[in-house]
Every structure is written in structure tokens, then in C-alpha cells.
């Protein structure tokens, strides 16, 4: 288990499903002890409603999340080199993070998290796929940084 970093950036393909879920859950778990943000390779779609729903089940609010890309982060003044660790949740975001940080001494780790989009025929089946993704993120968080102060 690692010591809790001061700042974490989660990234995935669109910053609409996996990375916002990871950002919200980490904020709930570890509170103000860690600065947490998320980004995508692209930001061409809004936050996914199923992500909002399965996180709400745990008291994690994602309704106000606005998707943003790595490029937008830089335009808005967020310096990637200021993060202690970047956690990539998709192969494309891992490649992009490694490419963007090759000049910095930064820790980029990859967590293979299921992309639930397009899975399931019914609403309940879709929710179950998103719950599986959410629960994978929770397991990685706990395995990496220990049990949080909050009970989930």
C-alpha cells in the first residue's frame, strides 16, 4: 500500500464515465487530504447518466461534473507536472498521459477498468455494468491507498 499522495489526476477516454467516477469516489473516501481532478483524451461527450446514478447510490454527487480534456486542462492553467500521480483508466489515456509527461518525473499508473458503455440491454443490466466499473475503481482505491475514513 502506498502513502496517500497530495494530488491525483484520473484520466480515461472522454472524462464522462470512469475518470469522473474515480474522482468523485476518491474525494468521498479521502476528503480534503488529496487534490483530485480528472480529464479525458477528448471531452466530446457529457458525463454519463448511468455514472451519476451508480455513484449517487454511494452518496457521491457527479451531477455538476463537466467533462474536460488534457488540452483544456492545460488551457485552464492546470499543470500536469503539479500532480503526484496520474492514474490512467484506459489504454488510450495511459498513452496520452505518458506522452504528455515524458518531460516530467511523474508517476503514471494504469488501472484496467471496465468501460461499461454499450453493455447491457435493459436499464437494470446497464446499471449493473456501471456498478461493476464503480466497484473495480473502489477496489483499486482501497488496494492502493487503504481503507478510507468513510464507510462504503
CA distance 132 to 6: 27
The pTM (predicted TM-score) of the whole model is 0.92
Radius of gyration of the chain (CA): 14
CA distance 151 to 106: 31
Average pLDDT over residues 42-55: 90
pLDDT-derived band at 78, boundaries 50, 70, 90: confident
Rounded (5°) CA angle 119-122-127: 60
Average pLDDT over residues 39-48: 87
Specify the pLDDT at position 151: 57
Residue whose C-alpha is closest to residue 26's, from 111, 95, 119: 111
pLDDT-derived band at 131, boundaries 50, 70, 90: very high
| Number of Cβ within a 10 Å radius of residue 59 | 10
Rounded (5°) CA angle 111-39-119: 60
Residue whose C-alpha is closest to residue 81's, from 90, 70, 65, 66: 70
Confirm if 86 and 106 have CB atoms less than 8 A apart.
yes
Confirm if 106 and 80 have CB atoms less than 8 A apart.
yes
**Secondary structure (3-state) at 55:** helix
Specify the pLDDT at position 139: 97
pLDDT-derived band at 152, boundaries 50, 70, 90: low
Helix (H) or strand (E) run with residue 110 in it: strand 107-110
Amino acid at each position: 500500500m502506498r502513502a496517500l499522495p497530495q494530488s491525483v489526476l484520473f484520466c480515461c477516454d472522454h472524462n464522462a464515465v470512469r475518470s469522473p467516477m474515480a474522482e468523485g469516489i476518491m474525494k468521498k473516501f479521502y476528503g480534503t487530504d488529496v487534490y483530485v481532478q480528472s480529464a479525458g483524451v477528448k471531452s466530446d461527450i457529457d458525463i454519463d447518466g448511468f455514472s451519476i446514478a451508480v455513484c449517487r447510490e454511494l452518496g457521491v454527487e457527479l451531477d455538476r461534473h463537466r467533462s474536460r480534456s488534457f488540452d483544456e486542462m492545460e488551457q485552464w492553467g492546470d499543470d500536469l507536472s503539479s500532480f503526484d500521480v496520474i492514474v490512467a483508466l484506459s489504454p488510450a489515456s495511459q498513452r496520452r498521459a505518458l506522452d504528455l509527461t515524458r518531460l516530467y518525473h511523474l508517476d503514471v499508473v494504469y488501472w484496467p477498468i471496465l468501460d461499461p458503455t454499450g453493455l447491457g440491454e435493459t436499464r437494470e443490466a446497464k446499471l449493473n455494468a456501471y456498478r461493476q466499473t464503480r466497484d473495480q475503481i473502489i477496489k483499486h482505491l482501497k488496494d492502493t491507498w487503504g481503507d478510507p475514513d468513510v464507510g462504503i
